[in-house]
Amino acid sequence: MKVAILSRNKNLYSTRRLKEAGEAMGHEVDVIDTLHCYMDITSSHSAVRYHGKELPKYDAIIPRIGASVTFYGTAVARQFEMMGTFNINESVAISRSRDKLRSLQLLSRKGIGLPRTGFASKPDNAKDLIKNVGGAPVVIKLLEGTQGIGVVLADTAKAAESIIEAFMGLKANILVQEFVKEAGGADIRCLVIGGKVVAAMKRQGAEGEFRSNLHRGGSAEVVKLSKEERDTAIKAAKAMGLNMCGVDLLRSKNGPMVMEVNSSPGLEGIETATGKNIAGMIFEFLEKNAKPNSNKTRGKG
C-alpha cells in the first residue's frame, strides 16, 4: 500500500514509529506536513497539492492532526476522502472528538458513563452550575485546552465561582465537571483499533498533581481492564466514529467514566508501558480495511 501520514513533524515519536512500522511491513509511507498541503477544488478533478506538485494517489491516510490546526487539518483530510482515499479516522469523527462539549453530548446520548458536566455562557449561572455537578471541589476545563493545559481544580465553591467568572470575562468557553476523588489523580488510557481495545495503561499524576498527563510528569504502567471498562472504551470510540483512538477513563464508585476520546493518541507512552507494537497494529488494520471509496461519509460532512 501507499500510505500518507499527515503530521507537522516527521521526528515526533508517533510519526516516526508509524513510518518505521509501515515500511517494515512492506508499505510505501510518506510523511506530509498538513499545513503545507493546499487544495485544488474543482467539479471534474479534485486534488491535494504539496510544495508545488500534485500529490500521488494514496491508498490510505493516517491523520496526526494537532489540536491547534484542527480546522485546516480536517479540511485536508476531507479532500483526501473526496478523492476516494481511505482515512483511518474520518474528518467528521476528528471534528466530533475535538469539540469537548459535542463529544460529551454524543457520549451522553449513548448512555456512556461520564463525569457530571455543566456548561453555561453567563457568570450569573455559576452558583447553580457548581451545585448541579455536586458542589466543590470541581474541575473547570477550557473547551480548547489540550494535554492538561487549561484544566483547573477548584477546592471551594468560592474559588470555583472566581475562576468561572475570570474565564467567562475573557470570553473563554468552559466546562464545569464533578471531581472524581476516588480516582486518586489517575486515569486509564485505552487504545482502541478497529473496535477492539488492543492496549491499556494506567497513568498516575505526579505528587500533588490531579492531572495524570504524561507531559506533566505523570507515570504509566500496564493495567488490567474489567469487562465494563473495555466495553465502555469500545462504545466511546464507536460513538465518535473513530477507528483508532485513545479513550481516557476514570475509575469511579459509579463505574468507568469517559473523560476524553483522543483521535490522535500518542504512541510513546503506551508502547513503552505495554511493550506492544501499536504502530504495527494500525497498519494491520489498514491492510484489512483500506479500500477505495470505503469511507462512511466520503467527505460529505
Distance between start and end Cα atoms, the chain: 26
In degrees and rounded to multiples of 5, residue 297 shows phi and psi of -95, -20
Q: Look at residue 225 in the predicted model and tell me its pLDDT.
A: 96
Q: What is the pLDDT of residue 29?
A: 98
Is 206 in the same domain as 217?
yes
Which residues neighbour 112 within 8 Å (Cβ) at sequence distance 6 or greater?
232, 235, 236, 239, 258
**Is 291 within a domain?**
no
Dihedral pair phi/psi, residue 288, rounded to 5°: -85, -25
Residues of the chain where predicted confidence (pLDDT) is lower than 70: 144-148, 205-218, 297-301
Q: Is residue 204 part of a domain?
A: yes
pTM assigned to the model:
0.88
Question: How high is the pLDDT of residue 160?
Answer: 92
CATH code for position 77: 3.40.50.20
Claim to verify: residue 220 and residue 192 sit in the same structural domain: yes
Query: 82 and 16 in one domain?
Result: yes
Same domain, 48 and 90: yes
Domain end among 127, 148, 179: 179
The domain in which residue 215 lies consists of 182-284
Extract the C-alpha cell encoding 173. Answer: 468557553
Residue 26 lies in a domain: yes
Question: Residue 42 is placed in which grid cell?
Answer: 474543482
Q: Is residue 104 part of a domain?
A: no
Domain match, 203 and 260 both: yes
pLDDT at site 177: 92
- Residues 229-258 have pLDDT tens digits of 999 999 999 999 999 999 999 999 999 999
Which position has the grid cell 463525569? 115
CATH of the domain at 206: 3.30.470.20
Distance CA 88, CA 69 (A): 18
Q: Note whether 148 and 227 are same-domain residues.
A: no
Q: Which residues partner with 246 through β-bridges? A: 191, 262
